[in-house]
Structures are given as structure tokens and as C-alpha cells.
């Protein structure tokens, strides 16, 4: 009852709120957040209406009348007052949609449902009114006191739990969810741009936790499971620093915090030329790099009022790690090339080029020089001593065997005159240690997907940025490590930072206080609980068997429930891909996937195989190519059937027995877990986790052979995390979503196949 009253009170059309003479809200101090739905609805307006709105002006303090006039046309803008965390907590207007009158009840009902999950404290703060003269101004609260929005996050409140330990506030499709909806903070110039005809990505309003990370002014370590916004925060931070640098203390982007607005121009501690801000964003995947570049370009275009498209160059057609438009050196990089967004591979090539005497031109000699020194490689004694450390999972005897294998491998390499990534990295370390780095020094370095780099690789960054106090951000998730042979926890990066990055005398004095705690992002924005529960079931096994290879994080929160992913069972012996796409049968047309759907496969080999079946009728990516990206629907094809673990997947039955999930009808004989024999299970599970978490809405898993996937399928079935569907024509038809040529064009333009407007 109370809520309905609140809803009634709060859901007044915005024009009413801003224009009523008795309660004048029109005041520049109010921040206005617009939703994606608003953007979409606006896009659908007849050009006449949209034109009228444009010609009426913009919703800033002096033109609020325009909104009122717009509502005369029979559309209402639905808004509420909400609280966001900036430097302080502050009341804001949140604009949900523009609707005809008859559609208002449906939206208000859904909003009422959401408000019913809010705490009383939160509601009463939203409805508080602060008067300054006869103006209502936004009320603020110190950031030090915690304001909790959802009841289930307060310990002593009744849980909304609907099972499985998760709390759902909403049950809707991900794409229609009000809770996962992106909100954008508007300034006069951004509204100008929005109301122009351009398609733009706008800066998403961040959550309180994300804002804390963004405003933190020290070098930091950010972790969080898939889809919690790590890449978004890195991109936002990079962009904020660009803006901060360009604008100095002048007014700037509305989406920025006051702290950024008030900040002074970045004081470059190292460069003689403070007129350039040198920022470097490094990640593993070329596609993710392109997506980040794309997004920064959009952001730049918006903030320059749409007048100039970003100078950030887009490698649109060529999604490789070569980035041939950027020279292979850090010496005197033209200023318009910053911010540099590159893969780790490109980073190495640039370092190599900077140091002269390239490794590739003399790699035999290079191998000699780094082998000669003990640098970068442990002696047998050093390696075997590690067996005594608490985190070691290998005994002295096993280490002896491993070391002998290592020596044989090294010998073999040298005999055939070959080298590997380790040799290349060691050579660069050697040159940096013995020579002088004469390349540009960076002001800020952002390293995304850091879990795929080795400690030795990460430590290279210390040479190119002296701003250790606030210049480094490491983000990643150790559940998603897919690079081979890399196995650490986030804490190890923090220790490395302390030991190697803070090694100069000045910083040693300040010591540990310079190394911040690891921050965890907890709210998933990508998908619904059906997918997250399946992903968590994979993490559970990792926690059990590979405790030293994954960070034990607090479970992420997901606010919307959703259908369980689907295991597809073939009705006949036909290849599943043939059934789904109709195959190249006599005269038969292949009906493909849509632009927001993807087939994920293990490697290039399977990719070629699928291509052979369906040609270019669907986007097919390997798991390593899809890292960091997201899609509306995902088909994971033949993951178990191509696994090097083969029938050792049966060790999952042992895990099930531990948890008393092993029913009588399931196999009773299975291997006992053995780290040496089942070591590869760790990387297999991490790859599986990455694949599962790429989807926003639907996930299908299909295999050509039943036996290899059976243990995991049995595990998922027993836990009730999947639905089983026979792969017949009707299921196949429902999977294929036709896309318009415009949607494909958009996808192609993005090149990165990055389906989401990541925040920045
Ligand atoms: N505050 C927010 N409001 C709405 N959507 C958000 C918010 N923060 C992030 N998102 C969205 O969540 C999705 C996932 O974000 P992002 O890719 O940054 O996560 P991630 O942690 O880097 O994921 P992964 O580890 O899988 O690479 C994106 O669609 C992004 O736009």
C-alpha cells in the first residue's frame, strides 16, 4: 500500500516535476539520467515529432518548458528520483521512458515491483525534499555512510530468495530488464548529440561499487567474475583521464564525478613535455582491443559535441594483433596515437623495437645471452626449493621430473634453432636491465585480462611507467585464464607490484601503503541467473580441486532470473550443426544465425570444420577470440568432444559423490582425482567458464558424441541447472534469429563483434 502511494507520488511525468511552479525543480544542480529505453523510444518517434523536440530545445535549466510542450503531443516522460554515488551520494532524476498515456500503467507496475525490493531507508531518502529558497535542490549524503538500495543486501531483512541462494528482484528477458538497463548521464552537449541523428554510445551511469573503483586515485587491482564491468571501468577511467587532461579545471563532461571535474590537469611526474597525456591500454585479445578503441572513439566524438569523430584510429577491417598502423617502437610516438590501445603481443614488439638490436634478427645469439645468465629462469635447486613453499602443489620428486623435461625442451629448441615467447620476454628483460629504455614514459597503464599474462610478462610494465603511485590498473578474473601455463591468484600480482614495481628508493620508504587492496566488483550486468548458476557450477569444481589457481571471490549478485541453458540432444546421427542450419543438402538453403548470435568452438581446427558445413552463415569464434566479448545468444559446439581430457572427464563423478549427488543410475566406477593426471581439467574448466559467460540471454550446448560430455551433463542435470531439448526442426528454427542487413552492417562496422555499448 505504502509503495503504491510512493509510486504514484514518484512517477509523475518529468515535465510536471520540472515545471510545477509550486515545487520548482528546474535547477542546474539536478543531474538527469536517461535510460536505454528512452533512447530507443526517442529513436522510434516519427521524424516530425523528433524534429519538433529538437527544435524545442534541450532539457537543461532554461529549456525545461520544452518537455512540457512535448507531452502535449500525447507522450509522457516517466521519471523517478533516485540516488547515485558520486563523490557523495546525491539525488538525481532518473528518466525511464517516453510513453503514450495508455502504456504508463504497465511500466509503473514493473517499477512498483522493483521498488518493493528497496529498503525503507532508501525510499525515504529518495522522497526527501531539500529546499533552497523556493527551489528544490538535490539532497546529498556523505559517501562514508552506506546507503543500501536492496532489502536482500541488508543482513536482518527478509530475503527475497527464490532458491539457489540468489536473490531475484525481476523476472524478465535480459534485453527487457529494467534493472540491467543502462542509464546515461546527460549534459547539455550530450543531449545535443543524442538529439542529432547520430548513433552513439553514451557513458553508462556506474553503480556505487564501480564508482568507488573509478574514483580511487591509487594504482589498483580490480577483480570480479565475468560481466561485472571490469573492462567498462578501465575504459571509463582512461576516458576520464583524457577529459581531465583536455579540460583542465574547466567544466567538463556531465557524467564525470565532481572529483574529476575539480581535479587539476594531470601532473605528469616524468615527462619533460606535460602537453601530452600518454595512456596505454593493453589486453590479450585483438577483438577486445578493437572494441575498446571503438568505444573510446564514440566517447570522444560525443564529448566534442559530435563535431569531430575521434582521432583514435580504428583497425576496422583487420582484427589481428599486428596493429600495423602503430610503429614497432615506443620512441617518439606521435601524440595523436595516444591513448594507445594494443594487445600484449604488440606491446612486446614495440618494446623490442625500442631497445634496438631486435631479438628476431639475432635470436640464436639472444638465446645464448639470456641462457648464459640465470635471469628469468630458475636453477634446478631454486625450482626444487619451491616445493617447501606453502602454495606448492608439486613435491620435490615431481619437480625433479618437471625440471628434466624442461631441460630437454630447452635443448630441443636450441638444436632446431627455435625460440618461444619465454625467450622473447627474457631477452627484453635482459636488454632493459642492462641498457637504457629511451622510449616514451607512460602516465597511465591499464592492463585488462591480466590473468592471461605471466608474472614475468607483467613485470615488463615497470620499465615504461614511473607513475607507480596512481598509474597502474590491473583488471582480471582468475576463473578466466586461458593462456597456457599460467596459474596464479590475484594476490600474486599485488605481491609482484610491491616487490618489483616499488623497488626504487623513493617508494620503498612509503612501502606497503602504496599498494592498495584488491577490489572486487560483484554485480553482474551481462546476463540472468540461469546462466550465472551454470557458470558457478564450473567455479565450484575449480574451488574444490584447484584452490591455488583461482581466487575465492564473494558470489556475484544477479538481479534477474532467467531460463536454464539448454543441452541439445540430436534426434538422429546427423551432425548437430547440419540439423540446426539445414546443411548443404540438395538445393536446400542454409538459414544462418543472426548478427547477435555466435557459435563458439574450441580452436581454429573446429572453426574450419564448421565453416565447411555452413560457410559464412554464422559468426564462428574460438573461445580465445571471444574473450571479453558478449552476444545475445551463444551455441557452444563440441567442447567436450574435442577436449584433450577425453574420458578423464569422468572424474566429475568423484566430485558428485563427494556432494552426495551420485545417484544409483549414474556410473559408480570412475577415476580418483589426481593433480598430475587431471591437471588439464583446470584449464578446461576455465575455458568452459569463459564460453558459458559470453551469453546475455540464451545458451545452447551441443555435442556430436555423447560419451565425453556425459559426466558434465549428468552433473548439470543432477543439479537442475540445464534443460534438455531434442534437436528437431522446431527447436532449430527457434534458435535462428534473422537479422536485417542494417544489423549486419552494424556488426561489421564494429568489426570487433562487440555487441554491447560498454560503458565509458
Ligand atoms: N553500471 C552499469 N550499468 C549497466 N550496464 C553495465 C554497467 N557496468 C557494466 N555494464 C555492462 O555489463 C556488461 C559487461 O561489462 P564488461 O565487459 O565491462 O564486464 P567484464 O567484467 O570486463 O566481463 P568479462 O570478465 O567477461 O570480460 C557490458 O554490457 C556493460 O556495458
Distance from C-alpha of 514 to C-alpha of 220, rounded to nearest angstrom: 10
Ligand 1, atom 15, residue with closest C-alpha: 229
227 is in an annotated binding site: yes
More confident call, 512 vs 249 = 512
Residues sharing a CB contact under 8 Å with residue 412, sequence separation 6 or more, in sequence order: none
Q: 233 CA distance to ligand 1 centroid (A)? A: 8
Per-residue pLDDT, 265: 38
The gap between the terminal CA atoms of the chain, to the nearest Å, is: 39
C-alpha–C-alpha distance, residues 500 and 11, integer Å: 55
Kindly state the average pLDDT of the residues 243-266.
46
Does 230 show up as a binding residue in the annotation?
yes
Distance 230 CA to ligand 1 centre (A): 7
At residue 621 the predicted structure's pLDDT band, cuts being 50, 70 and 90, is very high
Residues 6+ apart with CB under 8 A from 378: 386
Cell digits for 610?
A: 564448421
Q: Quote the ligand 1 centre to 752 CA distance (angstroms).
A: 16
Domains defined along the chain, listed by start: 2-160 (no CATH), 208-346+446-520 (3.40.50), 563-750 (3.40.50)
> Can you state the percent helix, strand and coil of the chain, rounding each to 5?
45, 15, 40
Q: What integer pLDDT is reported at residue 282 of this predicted model?
A: 96
Q: What is the pLDDT of residue 676?
A: 77
By the 8 A CB rule, do 89 and 128 touch?
no
By the 10 Å C-beta count (0-12 exposed, 13-18 middle, 19+ buried), 238 is classed as: buried
pLDDT score for 373: 52
**CA proximity to 13, closest of 91, 111, 99, 130:** 99
pLDDT over 80 at 506, yes or no: no
- Answer whether 221's CB lies under 8 Å from 493's CB: yes
Mean of pLDDT values over 223-245: 90
pLDDT at 586 over 60: no
Nearest CA to ligand 1 atom 11: 525
pLDDT at 83 over 80: yes
CA of 619 to the centre of ligand 1 (A): 22
Q: Look at residues 26, 84, 99 and name the one whose alpha carbon lies nearest to residue 60.
A: 26
CA angle (43, 44, 48) in 5-degree steps: 90
Please tell me the pTM assigned to this model: 0.77
| Model pLDDT, residue 321 | 52
pLDDT of residue 47 exceeding 60, the answer is no
Most confident of 356-370, 520-534, 572-586: 520-534
Check pLDDT > 80 for residue 26. no
Question: How far is Cα 202 from Cα 34, in angstroms, rounded to an integer?
Answer: 10
Share of the chain above pLDDT 70, in %: 73
Question: Looking at residue 111, what is its pLDDT?
Answer: 82
Question: What's the pLDDT at 308?
Answer: 39
Q: Whose CA is nearest to atom 1 of ligand 1?
A: 206
Confidence check: pLDDT of 418 > 60? yes
Look over the chain and give the mean of its residue pLDDT values, rounded to a whole number: 77
pLDDT, greater one: 716 or 590: 716
Q: What's the mean pLDDT in 234-259?
A: 64
237 grid coordinates: 577511467
Per-residue pLDDT averaged across 494-520, rounded?
76
At which residue does the C-alpha cell 535542490 appear? 137
Q: Is 454 exposed, middle or buried (0-12, 13-18, 19+ CB in 10 A)?
A: middle
How far, in Å, is the centroid of ligand 1 from the Cα of 41?
23
Residue 752: pLDDT band (50, 70, 90) is: very low
Q: Is the pLDDT of residue 286 over 90?
A: no
Q: Give me the pLDDT at residue 13, please.
A: 36
- Establish whether 503 is an annotated binding residue: no
- Please give the number of the atom of ligand 1 that sits closest to the Cα of 524: 12
d(CA 79, CA 305): 26
Cα 550 from Cα 559, distance rounded (Å): 25
Q: How far apart are CA 230 and CA 210, in angstroms?
A: 9
- Residue 520 in 3-state DSSP? strand
Separation between Cα atoms, residue 626 and residue 622, nearest integer Å:
6
Average the pLDDT over 192-204 and give the result: 51
Cβ pair 539, 479 in contact under 8 A: yes
pLDDT of residue 44: 64
Flag whether 229 is marked binding: yes
Q: How far apart are CA 168 and CA 681, in angstroms?
A: 32
Atom number, ligand 1, closest to the C-alpha of residue 224: 21
Residue 200: the pLDDT is 46
Work out which ligand 1 atom sits closest to the CA atom of 181: 4
Whether the Cβ atoms of residue 562 and residue 532 lie closer than 8 Å to each other: no
Residues 660/513, Cβ–Cβ less than 8 Å: no
SS3 of 210-228: the string is: HHHHHHCCCCEEEECCCCC
pLDDT surpassing 90 at residue 346: yes
The pLDDT value recorded for residue 495 is 87
Beta strand 220-223 with 472-476 is: parallel
CB half-sphere exposure, 599, CA atoms < 13 A? 29
Q: Is the peptide bond before 719 cis (omega within 30 degrees of 0)?
A: no
Helix axes 65-72, 47-56, angle to 10 degrees: 150
Q: How confident is the model at residue 741 (pLDDT cuts 50, 70, 90)?
A: confident
Judge whether residue 199 has pLDDT over 80.
no
Looking up cell 631477452 gives 427
**3-state SS class at 102:** helix
**Ligand 1 centroid, distance to 80 Cα (angstroms):** 24
Q: Is the dihedral of CA 70, 76, 77, 79 positive or negative?
A: positive
Q: Looking at residue 708, what is its pLDDT?
A: 92
Residue (of 723, 676, 678) closest to 699 by Cα position: 723
Task: Report how far residue 383's alpha carbon sits from residue 380's, in angstroms, rounded to the nearest whole number.
Answer: 5
Residue 36 CA to its chain's centroid (Å): 19
pLDDT digit string (tens) for 687-737?
Answer: 999 999 999 999 999 998 888 999 999 999 999 999 999 888 888 888 877
**Residue 311 and residue 313: Cα distance in Å, rounded?**
6
Q: Do the beta carbons of residue 750 and residue 291 sit within 8 Å?
A: yes
pLDDT per residue as tens digits for the range 148-168:
888 877 655 444 444 445 666
Q: How far is the CA of 288 from the centre of ligand 1 (A)?
A: 13
Q: Find which of 15-19, 196-200, 373-377 is predicted with most confidence, using mean pLDDT.
A: 373-377
In this predicted structure, what is the pLDDT of residue 600? 96
pLDDT digits (tens, 9 = 90+) for 289-325: 888 888 787 777 666 554 433 344 444 344 455 677 8
Query: Residue 477: pLDDT band by 50, 70, 90 thresholds?
Result: very high
pLDDT tier, 508 (very low <50, low <70, confident <90, very high otherwise): low
Relative to beta strand 130-132, strand 135-137 is antiparallel
Pick the atom of ligand 1 nearest to 756's CA: 29
The C-alpha cell of 633 is what?
A: 545468444
Ligand 1 atom closest to the Cα of residue 288 is 27
pLDDT band at 35 (very low <50, low <70, confident <90, very high): confident
Cα-to-centroid distance, 480 and ligand 1 (Å)? 15
The mean pLDDT value for 527-555 works out to 92
Q: What is the mean pLDDT of residues 411-438?
A: 89
Residue pLDDT, tens place only, 634-675: 999 999 999 999 999 999 999 999 999 998 899 999 999 988
Query: Which helix (DSSP H) or strand (DSSP E) does residue 707 occupy?
Result: helix 706-718
Residues with CB under 6 A from ligand 1: 182, 204, 206-207, 210, 224, 226-232, 477, 480, 525-526, 628, 630, 693, 756, 758-759
More confidently predicted of 460 and 556? 460
What is the average per-residue pLDDT within 674-685?
Answer: 88
Nearest CA, atom 25, ligand 1: 226
pLDDT value, residue 224: 94
82, 178, 210, 229: residue to mutate for ligand 1 pocket, most atoms within 8 A of CB: 229
Question: What does the pLDDT read at residue 483?
Answer: 77
- Centre of ligand 1 from the C-alpha of residue 711, in Å: 32
pLDDT at 279: 96
Q: What is the C-alpha separation between 25 and 161, in angstroms, rounded?
A: 38
Cα–Cα distance between 446 and 124 in angstroms, integer? 40
Which of 181, 230, 232, 235 to mutate to test ligand 1, by most ligand atoms within 8 A of the CB atom? 232
In this prediction, the answer to ipTM > 0.95 reads yes
Q: How many Cβ atoms are within 10 Å of 16's Cβ, its own excluded?
A: 16
Mean pLDDT of 61-90: 60
Cell numbers found for residue 229: 564491468
Range with lowest mean pLDDT among 115-124, 257-266, 343-352, 423-432:
257-266
Q: What confidence score (pLDDT) does residue 685 get?
A: 96
Mutate to test the pocket of ligand 1, among 178, 296, 526 (most ligand atoms within 8 A of CB): 526
Amino acid at each position: 500500500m505504502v509503495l503504491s502511494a510512493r509510486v504514484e507520488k514518484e512517477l509523475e511525468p518529468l515535465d510536471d516535476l520540472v515545471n510545477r511552479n509550486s515545487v520548482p525543480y528546474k535547477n542546474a544542480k539536478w543531474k538527469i539520467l536517461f535510460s536505454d529505453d528512452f533512447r530507443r523510444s526517442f529513436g522510434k518517434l516519427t521524424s516530425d515529432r523528433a524534429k519538433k523536440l529538437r527544435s524545442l530545445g534541450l532539457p537543461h535549466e532554461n529549456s525545461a518548458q520544452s518537455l512540457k510542450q512535448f507531452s502535449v503531443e500525447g507522450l509522457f516522460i516517466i521519471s523517478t528520483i533516485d540516488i547515485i554515488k558520486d563523490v557523495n551520494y546525491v539525488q538525481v532524476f532518473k528518466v525511464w521512458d517516453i510513453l503514450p498515456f495508455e502504456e504508463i500503467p504497465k511500466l509503473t507496475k514493473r517499477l512498483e515491483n522493483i521498488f518493493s525490493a528497496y529498503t525503507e531507508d532508501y525510499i525515504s531518502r529518495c522522497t526527501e525534499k531539500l529546499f533552497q529558497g523556493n527551489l528544490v535542490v538535490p539532497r546529498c549524503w556523505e559517501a562514508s555512510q552506506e546507503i543500501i538500495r536492496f532489502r536482500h543486501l541488508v543482513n536482518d531483512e527478509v530475503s527475497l530468495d527464490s532458491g539457489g541462494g540468489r536473490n531475484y528482484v525481476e523476472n524478465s528477458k535480459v534485453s527487457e530488464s529494467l534493472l540491467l538497463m543502462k542509464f546515461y548521464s546527460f549534459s547539455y552537449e550530450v543531449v545535443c548529440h543524442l538529439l542529432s541523428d547520430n548513433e552513439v554510445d553514451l557513458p553508462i551511469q556506474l553503480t556505487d561499487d564501480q564508482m568507488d573503483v573509478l574514483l580511487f586515485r591509487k594504482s589498483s587491482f580490480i577483480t570480479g567474475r565475468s560481466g561485472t564491468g571490469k573492462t567498462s571501468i578501465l575504459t571509463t577511467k582512461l576516458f576520464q583521464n583524457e577529459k581531465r587532461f583536455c579540460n583542465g579545471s574547466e567544466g567538463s563532461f556531465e557524467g564525470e564525478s565532481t572529483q574529476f571535474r575539480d581535479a587539476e590537469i594531470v601532473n605528469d611526474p616524468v615527462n619533460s613535455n606535460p602537453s601530452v597525456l600518454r595512456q596505454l591500454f593493453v589486453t590479450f585479445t585483438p577483438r577486445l582491443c578493437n572494441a575498446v578503441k571503438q568505444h573510446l572513439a564514440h566517447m570522444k566524438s560525443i564529448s566534442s559535441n559530435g563535431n569531430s569523430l575521434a582521432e583514435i584510429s580504428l583497425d576496422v577491417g583487420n582484427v589481428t594483433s599486428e596493429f600495423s598502423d602503430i610503429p614497432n617502437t615506443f620512441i617518439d610516438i606521435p601524440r595523436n596515437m595516444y591513448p594507445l590501445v594494443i594487445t600484449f603481443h604488440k606491446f612486446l614488439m614495440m618494446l623490442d623495437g625500442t631497445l634496438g638490436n631486435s631479438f628476431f634478427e639475432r635470436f640464436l645469439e639472444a638465446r645464448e645471452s639470456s641462457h648464459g645468465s640465470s635471469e628469468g629462469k630458475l636453477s634446478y635447486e631454486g625450482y626444487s626449493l619451491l616445493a617447501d613453499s606453502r602454495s606448492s602443489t608439486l613435491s620435490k620428486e615431481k619437480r625433479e621430473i618437471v625440471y628434466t623435461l624442461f631441460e630437454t625442451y630447452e635443448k630441443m629448441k636450441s638444436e632446431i634453432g627455435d625460440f618461444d615467447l619465454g625467450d622473447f620476454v627474457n631477452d627484453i628483460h635482459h636488454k632493459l636491465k642492462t641498457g637504457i629504455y629511451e622510449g616514451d614514459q607512460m602516465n597511465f597503464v591499464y592492463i585488462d585480462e591480466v590473468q592471461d599474462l605471466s608474472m614475468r610478462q607483467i613485470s615488463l610494465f615497470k620499465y615504461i611507467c614511473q607513475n607507480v603511485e596512481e598509474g597502474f590498473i590491473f583488471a582480471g578474473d582468475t576463473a578466466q585464464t586461458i593462456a597456457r601455463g599460467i596459474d596464479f591468484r590475484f594476490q600474486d600480482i599485488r605481491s609482484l607490484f610491491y616487490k618489483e614495481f616499488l623497488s626504487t628508493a623513493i617508494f620503498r620508504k612509503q612501502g606497503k601503503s602504496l599498494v592498495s587492496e584488491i577490489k572486487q566488483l560483484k554485480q553482474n550486468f551481462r546476463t540472468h541467473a540461469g546462466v550465472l548458476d551454470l557458470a558457478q557450477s564450473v567455479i565450484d569444481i575449480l574451488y574444490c580441486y584447484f584452490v591455488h589457481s583461482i581466487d575465492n571471490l564473494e558470489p556475484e549478485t544477479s538481479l534477474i532470473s532467467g531460463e536454464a541453458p539448454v543441452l541439445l540432444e540430436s534426434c538422429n546421427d546427423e551432425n548437430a550443426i547440419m540439423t540446426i542450419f539445414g546443411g548443404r543438402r540438395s538445393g536446400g538453403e542454409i538459414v544462418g544465425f543472426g548478427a547477435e548470435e555466435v557459435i563458439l568452438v574450441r580452436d581454429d581446427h573446429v572453426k574450419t570444420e564448421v565453416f565447411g558445413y555452413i560457410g559464412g552463415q554464422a559468426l564462428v569464434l574460438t573461445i580465445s577470440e571471444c574473450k571479453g566479448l558478449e552476444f545475445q545468444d551463444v551455441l557452444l559446439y563440441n567442447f567436450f568432444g574435442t577436449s584433450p581430457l577425453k574420458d578423464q572427464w569422468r572424474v566429475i563423478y568423484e566430485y558428485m559423490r563427494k556432494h552426495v549427488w551420485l545417484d544409483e543410475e549414474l556410473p559408480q566406477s570412475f577415476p580418483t582425482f589426481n593433480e598430475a593426471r587431471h591437471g588439464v581439467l583446470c584449464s578446461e574448466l576455465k575455458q568452459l567458464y569463459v564460453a558459458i559467460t559470453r551469453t546475455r540471454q540464451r545458451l545452447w550446448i551441443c555435442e556430436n558424441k555423447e560419451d565425453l560430455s556425459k559426466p558434465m551433463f549428468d552433473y548439470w542435470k543432477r543439479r537442475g541447472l540445464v534443460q534438455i531439448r531434442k534437436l528437431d526442426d522446431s527447436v532449430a528454427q527457434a534458435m535462428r534469429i534473422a537479422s536485417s542487413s542494417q544489423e549486419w552492417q552494424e556488426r561489421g562496422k564494429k568489426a570487433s563483434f562487440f555487441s554491447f555499448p560498454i560503458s565509458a
